[in-house]
Structure 1
Amino acid sequence: MRLINCETGKLEWFFVSQTVKPPPYAILSHTWDGDTEVTYQDYVDFLAGQGKQPQKNWTKVEKSIVVTLNSKERLKYIWIDTCCIDKSNTSELSEAINSMFKWYARAEVCYAQIADFESEFVPTNEMPGYGSNNNWALGHQTYEMPLVPANPQLTETAKDRLRGCRWFTRGWTLQELIAPLTVEFFDGNWIHFGNRNELGDLLTSVTRIDKRIFESPGTAHQERDIMSILSKMTIAKKMSWAQNRQTAKTEDIAYSLLGIFGVNMAMTYGEENKAFIRLQKEILAQYNDLSIFAWTANPTGNYGIVPKFRGILAHSPAEFANAGSFEPSRNAIANPDFTLTNNGLKISAQVRNIPSSKYLFLSLNCYDKSEGQHNIQGITLQLIGFNKYKRTNPSCLAIKLNSWPLQPKKEFFISSDDTDADTEHLDRSENQSFMFDLKRLEYYEKMRVSHEMAWDDSTAMFNTHGLSTFNACIWFRTRGRANEKVTEYLVACGTIVSSQDGPWLSIVEPHHPVYKAAMDENWDQMGVLGRRAGKTAHSAASEDVDATMSIWVPYDGKDIYQQKSGLRNSASMVKETGTKVFRIWIEAELVNLADGCDMCNMFCSQQ
């Protein structure tokens, strides 16, 4: 890194690594003022004897040097971004941006000049640490820095003016406030009006940054400490600090956050909003903090509309505006594994069914501190493809209710596509679905399903997703006590094969060929046999919309001494009016075979 030698005015280069440190130095934080900033080339030209560019703001550079020389640390060097980075060198610029947080963290002190603020302090000669020998010349100009009393107090009027200053809205100054060991504030006249600790409450109210950042003690190991403090805060909270920040280039809003999240990225100016997407991907690669998904979509487009679906990643820090009080829950330590793939976010997690809806709830294991630890935040998902979901209702987060049924842990994908490309087929696919009514489970229970990727447990539905041929099944078993006989059976269904056919339904016992084909996962064969053995619910040539068939299975769960008892298990398929959703009811009725059998349409086990 380059530093300005405040005694000679020259630029000096220092090799910096994890083990090799530069000499003690101060660092400047400020807002740029267009083309008036003194660039690296301007400074090099000046050192070469070409003089100062008249339109440049040399005063800022010179007064920064004066403050450094007269500091209580008696520092010799200062780093100023405009002068010390050769921005015409792409590789140097990239390295500087990736290293900048560390450079601010390693500085002995950061001088933050708020150019559009006047503190109204009257200079005196009482401030220790700023002696009278504070003259310095760069070229032929000399400056004497104004001195102010120690521990100054801003008036409420001054505080109100300070809140509106540009320094608090710039993207780069966020890390410059957070990273340094200490920050000393100067107004537009270079009058010192306080440090970060003294102004902590005011800074928190203006920036919404967690006050723990400002309360951290200054030590020689501040760089390590600040990263430790940041690691205890949710990604969503840290993103919220940048919600109102602005940068001259769109990409810089992402690049200015690299150090706060401890990640590195190549600089690719021209990618615009993709830079923020890349930032999130880098964060995902290093942390398993689910709060990175705790954003809420802002209205977009000419009509201010929030789309029904969104990809899993946020568009900008502004979408984390409501996450400033999010803290990790106790379950965050056991966050599930996830990784971003070309098929979306691959995650292994448990989800909850949201009753009376087609949505699932995914907990993000963080809570809103303002509402209490029970206020666990999450997002809602909807099945859009085989084992693939997409975030729905993106303009809000959901709150977990423990009464919602919790599904077993499973691996699935969440779409990262912000377009409608992966959801355009939903209307078509939902109209070719088999929905099971599983409310009458007194005598039987569901064991497993054949196509978990097409099964939506929240709605008990097989979603064919527009496939022309789809055959699936559910295995059931009768309920019984530990010493009672348990019997399995299968309910299979499938889509239309031709315009003359309708969806079919079949219920069979384990010895049936349909059952055997299902156990072999030969779904085409199961479809052929199931259509032949089962019932068709609807076809183009018929308005018949109902199909029912039954089987008898042994059962002694009602009375173990009633040796001739059994269950008549019936499956019925009905087409829902105006759709191609086929609802399937499964029912079981206890029968006594000693009374005879009059079930004319039964597949009896004795046949």
Structure 2
Amino acid sequence: MPTRLLHTHTGVLCSRHAQLTRFMNSQQYKQLVSLCTKCDPDQRMELVHAAILKYFQYITLSHRWGEDEPSLRDIEGHLIYDMSAKEGFKKLQAFCLVACERGFLWAWSDTCCIDKDSNAELQEAIGSMFAWYRQSSLTIVYLSDVPDTGSFGSSEWFRRGWTLQELLASQSILFYTQPWSLYKNLTSSNHKTDIAVLEELERATGIESRFLTHFAPGTDDARSRLQWASLRRTTRPEDIAYSLFGIFNLHLPVLYGESAENALGRLLAEIISQSGDISVLDWVGEASRFHSCFPALINSFQTLPLLRPQPGAEEPSAATSQGPSLISFEAL
């Protein structure tokens, strides 16, 4: 669960301590205490677990960053609903209102719920981001460049690095267009279960629907996952690699300033070290100074992999897995 969440009713940014304090002062907590006095210990634990899960359900925002995005420092100690009419603030306010209207008490946005001045917190956030989106009850995708009647395939949201992780991690998603209207007025509670939207998502991302709806993080089929990210961009160069840590379920140091080339090299080296999969050496482009077996740029993976695992294909035997398709990074 994220360290900080926005309270959608009041517009206050709450630390974990403040969240717990609100829970202990809530009607739900009083009802829980009353029920717990009337049941056995096993039932009590179930009640506590269920009550906490329900109270702390939260909604996440996925969006293309724009100008005047509010930071943690901007909103600390303020009510977001009373703040500036700048575009970034209006987006945050609209998001929290949507969350509130949908019955969520808590909301999370990457713009203001992370202390980006703290290296330790930033490291933790990047390492936890996939899990935060996976554990959220709903992700709102705001497409600021898609008009009410437009199609989302050309949106810049599909070209950004971090949004790939957010799309794959989120189990329930709703797309909103520029005027904060539901995409094509579709009233589904989850656009990932809408066949028409899924088909559009496949075309826009090049990712098969089975991965869009049931994605498991890890190093399986690493080469295909790199291809999904190959045409995406990030504002900070190193983020093109850091934004993939969660997709591969890898935990590596975040070292801003090291260069995109080094960050990508470290990621590829870790994929090989963890899995022995050398399909990541299937690329076309300029060689990296980090290691000549690796590409300098992520777009070197935009061509389709030479061999793609087929759905339902048998797992390789123990003997095969020791063959030429597996190798340690140290052997390169």
User: What interval of TM-score do these two structures reach, taking the shorter chain for normalisation?
Assistant: 0.7 to 0.9
Partner Cα distance (1:173, 1:331) in 2: 31
| 1:164 positional shift | 1.5
Partner residue in 1 for 2:33: none
Structure 2 residue corresponding to 1:240, chosen from 227, 231, 234: 227
Q: Indicate the residue corresponding to 1:321 in structure 2.
A: 302
State the one-letter code of the partner of 2:222: I
Please tell me whether the aligned partners of residues 42 and 52 of structure 1 are also in contact (alpha carbons under 8 angstroms): no
The answer to whether the aligner puts 1:281 opposite 2:279 as a matched pair is: no
Letter in 1 for 2:328: T
Aligned residue for 1:88? 117
Preserved contact between residue 144 and residue 178 of structure 2 (Cα < 8 Å): yes
**Structure 1 residue 285: deviation in Å?**
2.4
Q: Distance in 1 between matches of 2:165 and 2:80?
A: 33
SS of residue matched to 1:260: coil
Identify the residue that residue 75 of structure 2 maps to in structure 1.
43
Shift of 1:278: 0.8
**Higher normalized helix content (fraction of residues):** 2
Alpha-carbon RMSD = 2.8
Give the deviation of 1:47 after TM superposition: 4.6
Q: Counterparts of 1:330 and 1:314 in 2: how far apart (Å)?
A: 30
CA drift at 1:313: 2.2
Post-superposition CA distance 1:159-192 (Å, at most 9, x none): 3xx2221100000100111101111000010000
CA 1:289–1:69: 2 relative to 1, 3 Å: same
| 1:9 match | 11
- Does residue 32 (structure 1) correspond to residue 61 (structure 2)? The answer is no
Q: Which residue of 2 aligns with 1:202?
A: 200
Residue 54 of structure 1, CA deviation = 5.4
**Partner SS state of residue 41, structure 1:** helix
- Deviation of 1:14 after TM superposition, in Å, equals 3.0
**In 2, Cα distance between equivalents of 1:166 and 1:47:** 30
Partner of 1:186: 176
Structure 2 counterpart of 1:58, from 84, 89, 100: 89
Alignment of 1:448-467 (within 5 A): none
* CA distance in structure 1 between the aligned counterparts of 2:314 and 2:177, rounded to whole angstroms: 43
3-state SS of paired residue (2:112): helix
Deviations 1:331-360, CA, capped at 9 Å, x for gaps: 74533353223xxxx2xxxxxxxxxxxxxx
The structural deviation recorded for 1:13 is: 2.4
CA contact (8 A) 1:27 1:80 kept: yes
Cα offsets for 1:564-594 (capped at 9, x unmatched)? xxxxxxxxxxxxxxxxxxxxxxxxxxxxxxx
Within 5 Å, give how 1:29-428 maps onto structure 2.
Answer: 29-34=62-67, 36-44=68-76, 46-47=78-79, 52-53=83-84, 55=86, 57-71=88-102, 74-120=103-149, 158-159=150-151, 162-193=152-183, 194=186, 195-198=191-194, 199-216=197-214, 226-227=215-216, 230-231=217-218, 233-272=220-259, 273-294=261-282, 296-298=283-285, 300=286, 311-323=292-304, 326-327=308-309, 332-333=316-317, 334-336=320-322, 338-341=327-330, 346=331, 414=332
Give the Å deviation of 1:286.
1.7
8 A Cα contact 1:288 1:335, kept in partner: no
Q: Quote the Cα distance in structure 1 between the aligned partners of 2:247 and 2:200.
A: 21
Q: Which runs of 5+ in 2 are unaligned?
A: 20-48
Runs of 4+ in 1 over 6 A off after TM superposition: 19-22
Instruction: Flag the 1:330–1:48 CA change in 2: closer, same or farther, 3 A.
Output: closer
Distance, in Å, in 1 between the alignment partners of 2:11 and 2:100 is 11
Distance 1:83 1:330, change over 3 A: same
Q: Percent identity?
A: 28
- Measured at CA, do residues 232 and 260 of structure 1 come closer, stay the same or move farther in structure 2, by a change above 3 Å? closer
Please say if residues 31 and 115 of structure 1, whose CA atoms lie closer than 8 Å, have aligned partners that are also in contact.
Answer: yes
In terms of fraction of residues, the more strand-rich structure is: 1
How many residues of Structure 1 are paired with residues of Structure 2 in the alignment?
Answer: 278
Q: How many Å apart are 1:75 and its aligned residue? A: 1.3
Tell me the CA shift for residue 45 of structure 1. Answer: 5.0
Greater relative CO (CA pairs within 8 A, separation 6+): 2
SS in structure 1 of the partner of residue 200 of structure 2: helix
**Per-residue deviation, residues 439-462 of structure 1 (Å, max 9, x unmatched):** xxxxxxxxxxxxxxxxxxxxxxxx
Would the aligned equivalents of 1:27 and 1:79 in 2 still touch at CA under 8 Å? yes
Pick closer, same or farther for the CA change 1:331–1:191 going to 2, 3 Å. closer
| Secondary structure at the counterpart of residue 259 of structure 1 | coil
Q: Name the CA shift for 1:97/1:13 in 2 (closer, same or farther; >3 Å).
A: same
Paired with 1:200 and 1:207, the residues of 2 have a C-alpha distance of: 10
Q: Which runs of 5+ in 1 are unaligned?
A: 121-157, 217-225, 301-305, 347-413, 415-607
CA contact (8 A) 2:227 2:301 kept: yes
2:207 counterpart SS class: coil
CA distance in 2, matches of 1:45, 1:11: 8
1:214, 1:263 → 2: CA distance? Answer: 20
Alignment of 1:451-530 (within 5 A): none
Within 2, Cα distance between the matches of 1:28 and 1:290? 35
Equivalent AA in structure 2 for residue 320 of structure 1: F
Deviations 1:20-49 (A, max 9, x none): 979110000001013x10111111153599
| d(CA) in 2 for partners of 1:12, 1:65 | 14
